[in-house]
């Protein structure tokens, strides 16, 4: 019998013996406010009459559940692409993959957008109605073109904005602007 099967068997035995599902015992443990393994085991044995093995397993399972819940922070983009903007999420993921190819950076969630930073901020990603606005910090002399707009009326923290509406917008020209902004922030 493998370890997973043995644990599953032990859980079934605990539920049968004590007449409560594991979720009930998790609620008991949570309500106790105890977090140390030995304290949880002692409480389950003393207050609820569980055998040592059952109390030990429930304490371990509760701890694993808590660690799993806190192990991976939520993706900050999930909030930005909820509801009506959900259709833009694949485009966001493709854009972020392009930006990641430039190198390592931090993502700082803000209200309504994601700030991308190295030593300094170099870009931001903001979903809008039917598009993603990419704010960039480029050299002051970078010419404004049809695609590369001034960010003066968009967000004064950035010098330029690119409106991205389709995967075809993630081209060599955009990669060049991203590389420049990334390099300047380093």
Q: Does one domain contain both 103 and 149? A: yes
pLDDT band for position 69 (cuts 50, 70, 90): low
Based on the number of CB atoms within 10 Å of its own CB, is 149 exposed (0-12), middle (13-18) or buried (19 or more)?
middle
**The total number of structural domains that make up the chain:** 2
Three-state SS for 76?
Answer: coil
Q: Does one domain contain both 101 and 65? A: no
| Mean pLDDT calculated for residue range 16-31 | 90
Q: Does one domain contain both 10 and 42? A: yes
**Least-confidence region, from 19-23, 141-145, 167-171:** 141-145
Question: Does the pLDDT value for residue 111 go beyond 90?
Answer: no
| Mean pLDDT calculated for residue range 125-153 | 91
Q: What is the span of the domain harbouring residue 56?
A: 3-71
Q: Does one domain contain both 180 and 91? A: yes
Task: Enter the pTM of the model.
Answer: 0.61
38, 71, 104 - which closes a domain = 71
Question: Does the pLDDT value for residue 129 go beyond 90?
Answer: no
- In percent, the amount of the chain with pLDDT more than 90 equals 61
Q: Does one domain contain both 94 and 52? A: no
Question: Does the pLDDT value for residue 70 go beyond 80?
Answer: no
52, 71, 90 - which closes a domain = 71
Q: Does one domain contain both 86 and 152? A: yes
11, 37, 71 - which closes a domain = 71
Question: Does the pLDDT value for residue 178 go beyond 60?
Answer: yes
Q: Does one domain contain both 83 and 165? A: yes
pLDDT of residue 71: 53
pLDDT band for position 73 (cuts 50, 70, 90): low
Q: Does one domain contain both 13 and 63? A: yes
Q: Does one domain contain both 83 and 120? A: yes
pLDDT of residue 82: 85
Q: Does one domain contain both 48 and 9? A: yes
Distance (Å, rounded) from C-alpha 131 to C-alpha 88?
7
Distance (Å, rounded) from C-alpha 96 to C-alpha 125?
9
pLDDT of residue 90: 94
| Beta bridge partners of residue 163, listed in sequence order | 133
Beta carbons of 134 and 162 less than 8 angstroms apart: yes
Q: Does one domain contain both 81 and 58? A: no
Q: Does one domain contain both 63 and 24? A: yes
């Amino acid at each position: 019998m493998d370890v997973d099967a043995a644990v599953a068997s032990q859980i079934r035995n605990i539920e049968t013996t004590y007449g409560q599902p594991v979720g009930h015992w998790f609620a008991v443990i949570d309500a106790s406010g105890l977090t140390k393994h030995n304290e949880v085991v002692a409480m389950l044995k003393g207050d609820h009459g569980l055998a040592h093995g059952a109390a030990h397993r429930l304490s371990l399972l509760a701890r694993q559940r808590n660690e799993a819940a806190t192990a991976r922070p939520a993706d900050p983009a999930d909030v930005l692409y909820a509801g009506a903007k959900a259709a833009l999420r694949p485009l966001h993921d493709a854009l972020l993959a392009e930006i990641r190819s430039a190198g390592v950076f931090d993502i700082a969630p803000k209200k309504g957008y994601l700030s991308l930073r190295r030593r300094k901020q170099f870009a931001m990603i903001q979903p809008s109605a039917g598009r993603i606005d990419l704010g960039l910090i480029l050299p002051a002399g970078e010419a404004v073109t049809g695609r590369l707009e001034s960010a003066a009326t968009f967000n004064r923290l950035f010098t330029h904005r690119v409106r991205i509406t389709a995967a075809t917008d993630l081209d060599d020209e955009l990669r060049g602007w991203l590389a420049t902004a990334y390099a300047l922030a380093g």
